């Protein structure tokens, strides 16, 4: 009779969706097996939110900072740093720093196409993607195409194993907002909603400004010895002379030397015929003069057009031409001008002009501008 009762119980459990395994051992023990155990999806926490390293299992967040200063506007060429810690309510030992880092992208509205794009171009990782870490640090250099745009980020918490091993949504937000992030489907390419933020530390400024906004360009004498150029004194109110060498220096508004980010084009402009005693009308400008590509002080990469020597009349030449540009008195009577062009995909024109080549003490300098 006992055997018959067991069969009825097993049949009943089978019909209700259970798997029942009868084991005949001493004492007639029995065992039951359920479906696969499921845990909780991983999340990301901003380190700044984890007081005493306590994980937060109710919300996602990240920390984002800027290389410039979190109190200054974002500019092209700045580096954003995104930091996170992968947390798991199940207290699994799986470290998801590497897997989660690889899901990070940054977004912006392309200044050329006007379309919002997500990109991982320009992203670098710290810690060499150590697989034994649950934390992650991701760096991204702001491209020229992001000028005029707000910046966004996206990240998906992910671990090497677990059930589930990744969060089923993508965490998104704007880098300048401290509000809670938004959640998107994995395949969504939309930009975040206006109030989506980091949930942790955020940067200020919002809209990306041009790289050279607020910068200054100045002309210096260049010294040439034994085949090496070194930068000399700032020209200031000095007078540039024929056969002398000149170079430039560009400083950002926070006093960082950004000279190496530009290519340079030298020209002779606005001839003053009175300065050379001529009685005829002024001659045309001599634009894009042959200049020297070199390094300064034997440091850094070669910079296009960084040095220019004012030649005598018979050697006045422009690039892409074999003709000598003869003038009444060569370079004398002209102003020496240099244009700095940002050497990225977007061209930004800048200029500074020194005194005309006579005995006038006046020096004309202009801030970098459109």
Each residue's pLDDT tens digit, 228-279: 899 999 998 888 999 999 999 998 877 888 888 889 999 999 999 998 888 8
Model pLDDT, residue 188: 92
Query: Average pLDDT, whole number, for the chain?
Result: 83
> β-strands 335-342, 262-269: how paired?
antiparallel
Q: In whole angstroms, what is the distance from residue 20 CA to residue 31 CA?
A: 7
pLDDT band at 359; cut points 50, 70, 90: very low
Average pLDDT over residues 50-70: 90
More confident residue, 176 or 21: 176
360 pLDDT exceeds 50? no
Can you tell me which residue has the tokens 């990109």? 119
More confident residue, 326 or 26: 326
Please list, in sequence order, all residues whose beta carbon lies within 8 angstroms of the beta carbon of residue 126, skipping any fewer than 6 positions away.
136, 137, 138, 139
340 pLDDT exceeds 60? yes
Average pLDDT over residues 54-65: 94
3-class DSSP assignment, residue 182: strand
Model pLDDT, residue 14: 43
More confident residue, 298 or 322: 322
In CATH terms, the fold of domain 43-184 is Immunoglobulin-like (2.60.40)
| Burial class of residue 71, CB neighbours in 10 A (0-12, 13-18, 19+) | exposed
Cα separation of the two ends of the chain: 98
Model pLDDT, residue 287: 94
| Cis, peptide link before residue 292, omega less than 30° from 0 | no
Nearest partner of 176 among 60, 17, 64, judged by Cα:
64
Model pLDDT, residue 22: 45
pTM of the entire structure? 0.66
Each residue's pLDDT tens digit, 150-195: 999 999 999 988 888 899 999 999 999 999 999 999 999 999 999 9
Domain boundaries, given as residue ranges, for the chain: 2-33, 43-184, 216-356
26 pLDDT exceeds 60? no
363 pLDDT exceeds 60? no
Q: Helix H segments across the chain?
A: 2-15, 97-101
Model pLDDT, residue 129: 58
Please list, in sequence order, all residues whose beta carbon lies within 8 angstroms of the beta carbon of residue 225, skipping any fewer than 6 positions away.
none
Model pLDDT, residue 332: 93
Each residue's pLDDT tens digit, 67-107: 876 677 898 888 999 999 999 888 877 788 889 999 999 99
Average pLDDT over residues 44-60: 93
Model pLDDT, residue 199: 97
Model pLDDT, residue 213: 79
Q: What is the DSSP letter of 1?
A: -
Model pLDDT, residue 367: 24
Model pLDDT, residue 70: 61
Q: In whole angstroms, what is the distance from residue 351 CA to residue 215 CA?
A: 11
Each residue's pLDDT tens digit, 127-155: 665 667 889 999 999 998 999 999 999 99
The secondary structure of the chain in percent helix, strand, coil, rounded to multiples of 5, reads: 10, 35, 55
More confident residue, 271 or 225: 271
Model pLDDT, residue 143: 92
Task: Provide the β-strand partners of residue 79.
Answer: 141
321 pLDDT exceeds 50? yes
Please list, in sequence order, all residues whose beta carbon lies within 8 angstroms of the beta carbon of residue 114, skipping any fewer than 6 positions away.
none
């Amino acid at each position: 009779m006992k055997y018959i009762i067991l069969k009825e119980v097993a049949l009943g459990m089978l019909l209700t969706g259970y798997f029942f395994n009868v084991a005949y051992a001493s004492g007639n023990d029995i065992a039951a097996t359920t479906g696969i155990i499921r845990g909780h999806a991983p999340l990301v926490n901003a380190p700044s939110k984890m007081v005493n390293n306590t994980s937060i299992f109710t919300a996602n967040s990240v920390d984002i900072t800027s290389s410039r200063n979190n109190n200054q506007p974002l500019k092209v060429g700045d580096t954003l740093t995104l930091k996170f810690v992968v947390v798991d309510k199940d207290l699994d030992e799986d470290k998801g720093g590497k897997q989660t880092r690889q899901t990070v992208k940054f977004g912006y509205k392309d200044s050329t196409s006007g379309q919002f794009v997500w990109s991982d171009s320009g992203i670098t990782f710290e810690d060499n993607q150590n697989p034994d870490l649950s934390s992650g640090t991701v760096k991204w250099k702001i491209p020229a195409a992001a000028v005029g745009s707000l910046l966004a980020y996206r990240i998906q918490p992910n671990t090497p194993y677990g059930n589930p091993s990744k969060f089923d949504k993508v965490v998104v937000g704007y880098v300048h907002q401290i509000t809670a992030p938004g959640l998107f489907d994995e395949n969504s390419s939309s930009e975040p909603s206006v109030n989506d933020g980091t949930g942790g530390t955020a940067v200020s400024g919002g809209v990306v400004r041009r790289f050279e906004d607020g910068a200054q360009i100045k002309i210096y004498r260049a010294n040439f010895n034994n085949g090496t150029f070194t930068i000399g004194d700032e020209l200031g109110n000095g007078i540039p002379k024929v056969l002398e060498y000149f170079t430039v220096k560009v400083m950002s508004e926070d006093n960082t030397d950004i000279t190496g980010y530009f290519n340079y084009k030298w020209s002779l402009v606005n001839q003053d015929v009175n300065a050379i005693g001529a009685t005829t009308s002024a001659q045309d400008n001599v634009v894009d003069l042959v200049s020297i590509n070199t390094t300064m002080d034997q440091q850094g990469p070669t910079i296009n057009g960084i040095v220019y020597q004012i030649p005598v009349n018979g050697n006045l030449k422009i690039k892409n031409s074999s003709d000598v540009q003869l003038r009444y008195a060569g370079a004398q009577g002209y102003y020496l001008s240099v244009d700095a062009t940002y050497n990225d995909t977007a061209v930004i024109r800048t200029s500074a002009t020194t005194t005309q080549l006579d005995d006038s003490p006046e020096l004309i300098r202009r801030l970098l501008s459109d």
